[in-house]
Chains A and B, each alone.
Chain A
């Protein structure tokens, strides 16, 4: 394992006005690893994920992508300077995000959604972007819907399209923000199936989820967030079988019922 983690979250604090959401959260995600973040609603899971790609700017702390800080850089005189939006954008494109609400662009076809960022942001030639896009759609088994508009797809299909869209950027890591929380149970499985395959292929992933069975099965590490901090973390077999925190045990008990 390389010593520099793919993603390092270091002492991240985030507050919205008087409301504190994250209080010094730190963890590493190594290449090819899957880290799941679990916790009750309102425990700061989604905010944490949004901080990782700077959709929310942390109030303190830093995110490192392969050792490079996302929010600041050293200038020529060795002082730390906040990065401009353009610089943050350059680093952000290395992280693929999948949202709870899919957030496909409704005015573009499925393939249009998938090739948009590779063409406009990565500046790939159209033909190359389309080849990559089609390969990603095949991977999520959605190639037959390439020319449909998102409004005509089921929730599960939309979410798989959103995964293909993120994959097409060839990101260094994928961030999943409760990707199945808006789906009916029968549609959840098709999305989890795709994510299982990604994990098996060695994709680096951070997954915020309520799917405990999934977290247990695919994660290398699970983080339990409670009250703005990491209450407990560890390998899934330890966390799910031998939790030391009383709060985590109570939390997991709700899912066993």
Chain B
């Protein structure tokens, strides 16, 4: 084994700095959770606009999806952090600055809301019409139908695809160090500057992400499959 490869695979340095690195990982998790929450709610909103009967509402939903789904995460992040505050500042005639964490959540949340909207829409459209007719026939309000009849079915139907998107979103949180959000990658680059040994640190980070995603996705998949199978023949 070459020396540099040996060095790359020696994770003792990574372990030595585990306290700092773990703090970074917690930030990743927080960015992920907040962005996922934003992506899910904005995505559901956009999906409901897209399945609406009225053309103007459908158009707004479609614009939302196309705009955010086609925007690269990286560029959105920079744009939301540096350009959006300027625009808002001009509008309200006051200097505006976003905390990097807030920018990261908004940028990733919006990008992934475009994906989630399409997943939600597919789930909504897969519900047999008669299912909703039955609810209407009993005099349920549209709000009740959404919460009690549609969403529980949509969530079960969309889980496998949503899980893939959650994995992508979690991976996307690794770029937030770009605007100085102190995540794991940020911590790795800080330690690298001090130790000048980037290879074991990046290898350790890669392994950490890989293991977290593997465990999380396998767990969720196993749990959700049993739950889903109950309703789908």
> Contact residues of A with B, CB < 8 Å?
53, 55, 85-86, 89-93, 95-97, 99, 101, 103-107, 116-117, 120-121, 149-151, 162, 169
Contact = CB atoms under 8 A, between A and B. Distances in A.
Most buried by B among A92, A93, A107, A121: A107
B133 A117 contact: no
Contacts of A90: 139
Given A116-B148, A120-B144, A151-B231, A107 B153 contact: yes
A121 B130 contact: no
Contact of A55 (B133, B140, B149): B133
A106 B148 CA distance: 12
Interface in B210-233: 230-233
Given A106-B131, A116-B138, 19 more contacts: A55-B133, A55-B137, A85-B141, A85-B142, A89-B139, A91-B139, A96-B137, A97-B133, A99-B134, A103-B131, A105-B149, A105-B153, A107-B152, A117-B139, A117-B140, A120-B144, A150-B231, A162-B134, A169-B138
Contacts of B232: 106, 151
Contacts of B153: 105-107
A101 B133 CA distance: 11
A173 B14 CA distance: 73
A89 B133 contact: no
Given A99-B133, A151-B231, A107 B139 contact: no
Interface of B: 128, 130-131, 133-142, 144, 148-149, 152-153, 156, 230-233
A93 B139 contact: yes
B231 A106 contact: yes
A45 B114 CA distance: 43
Contacts of B130: 99, 101, 103
B141 A89 contact: yes
Given A99-B134, A149-B231, A151-B233, A121 B139 contact: yes
Most buried by A among B131, B134, B156: B134
Contact of A103 (B134, B141, B152, B231): B134
Contacts of B142: 85
B139 A151 contact: no
18 contacts: A53-B137, A90-B139, A92-B136, A92-B139, A93-B138, A95-B137, A97-B134, A97-B137, A99-B134, A101-B130, A103-B131, A103-B134, A104-B134, A105-B153, A107-B231, A120-B140, A120-B144, A169-B138
